[in-house]
A and B are shown apart, each in its own frame.
Chain A
Amino acid sequence: MTQQNIHEEFLRLTGFEEEEMGRYLPEWRKASEKLGLTEEDVRFAVRERLPEHFALELEGIRKLLGCFVKETIDLTKAGEYKSRGTKIVYGILPAVLHFYYALKLTAPEKIFVSFPDIFITFVMNGFFHKLAPYLEEAEKTGIPYGCRHCALNKTRYAARRLGVIPSPDISWIWGFVCDEGPKTDEFIRLYHDPEWKTYVTRLPHDQPLGTVEDEVIERVEYLAAQMKDGFESVQKEIGIKVSEETIRGVIRIWQRYAAKVSELGRLMSADPQPLGAVSGRFFWEGLFTPLNTGMESMEKALDITLEEVRQRVRNREGILPQGAPKLLIYSIHPSVPWIARMFEENGVGIPLSEFFILTEKQLRPPTFEDPYMAAAEGWLRSSGMVNPGYQAEQICEKIRTHKFDGMVFGLMDFDRWLGSSHRLLGRMVEEKTQLPVFYIEGDNWEDRDYSPEALRTRIESICEIMKIRKG
């Protein structure tokens, strides 16, 4: 197999059409080189990683992977865009993508938007299992290994150091959840790249346990004011003006997409489980991460997948036997795809990630006309963004709605906000539901510390307990 052929094969496997090859093959080869991928890495993805973990027999899933490949190719071209005068805007997860998309839609040729670490992490680890060189680059240049810093932050920094991405014209960095994300930007600017310009937006975690935060008007107003202040500063920085109508337009696109993803969530809950947990998981990224290449390809892939999965449900086809126990998991990331597979191989499904599925309230239209108030309210309706008391209530609703037999927390050791409450949440959810709740210490972004060998016993034990309980 020549180098040309393995790259071609990779693109075909990830849903590229014949007529796209002429354009994308040279671009992909150039991008893969820039990312630090060898021919062997691509061969590993084609022969092992992707077939092992993704349902490549489904056209929709192949095209979904292709969206991430296209976006990553585009990201490696950000430096070229910048040299041609395009304004580069970065962000991090979690954020409300409406604002970033609205920038893109207002001036498609003049603006490049990306959450760069997400795509590099997902593609480099999820497809090639090769994020380690990025992490090691960060660890030897100022973000030490021992403190359990987040792999996303290390990757963003390392990608800049390695010249994969350029300095942004503005990185609008959200610290509504974690502290390390925004402070990493401050670190990058002071330690490595004085051109790395940042605008920070924060919200203190100061609501008592159980507060329904989206109903505390003062909090919604403050968050809306923070969002507005940040968005206006970004527009000023890059010299464009986004209309409120454009933001509303993005919200409509988002709601349409969210409804479709929710349908996929319902289908994933079917018995038997029609699709492995990792295969469709990238669709949920579309709810939170802006794609500079646009939402259309992702939505098209979702439409195809929905049809294919509906067919599987109609045919009662599943990846597990009917009646297999199923657990809600806090979050499963395709960057470490073997975790989900290990559950499935042991006869237990983890079809959905709690962080990404929506409650009944989240699917309701916003109470407010003002787009900032609407976005703020939406944010405060999301389980991961609020106090653990309210979060536990939402988790219980999701468990009831999708008829889960229990829940798995953990795998978020790197996150001092989203991961730090899991043990407490586990207790709250167990008290409320009387269902078994488990905790796994691990890292969803990278598996250098928590290898399959390290987690196998824990996962197998959980699966055995669940099978015994369910009889």
Chain B
Amino acid sequence: MPDVLPPAMPGITTDMMLAIRDLEAWYGESHVLHGVSLDIRPGEVVTLLGRNGAGKTSTLRAIMGLVGRRSGSIVFEGRETIRMSPDQIGRAGIGYCPEERGIFASLDVTENLMLPPKVRSGGLDIPTIHALFPNLKERARSQGTKLSGGEQQMLAIARILRTGAPLLLLDEPTEGLAPVIVQQIGRMIREIKQRGFTVLLVEQNFRFAQTVADRHYVMEHGRVVDSVTNQEMAGSLERLHAYLGV
């Protein structure tokens, strides 16, 4: 089903993969984002840091169109997506891995992996995915939700790597996982960066974020309040601690 996408807007520089301006979002009556602005260049790994409730998950959901209402501007590869439906946004080339992982219990591992339709060429093929995540091959016929938490996280990421979407939104992929699995996920994120994917990563754990990201945005009360590059991070720890309360 080829969905017709609006043409690139004239006069807007398209060297950003994702450019968000003044994004506001609501769930029913509750106003969760109050003007988020951020940019992601192609090939970057960028994190959203912040306390619980700062609006990190809501930002990802708003990018996908999964909030009740949103306004502002979200330009993806030069195309305005603010008025698109979630399926159009997914088809445009944004892969989404939700916080709760979203593994389907009524589908086995292979069906879960094959579920998201391909949106572009350039996705990883199944042998490559199985090489990156050997567990998924071994457990191909298991029910999706019978996997361990770490395996479910791998599956949730693997299935959006297959679709060819160049921008991946990962919502706290390390949450609740053992340190050895967290390291594995860190290696995996560096690996997909090398393969040219662009990643927007929501993280609570900024020590982990430091090991994978190029830049970091800090969110507070539904806004982006600060940003640092990974190189500056060591020198900015005090400032970041104040935001994150750690």
Q: Is B a genuine binding partner of A?
A: no
Binding site for A on B (CB under 8 A): none
Which residues in A have some Cβ–Cβ distance to B below 8 Å?
Answer: none
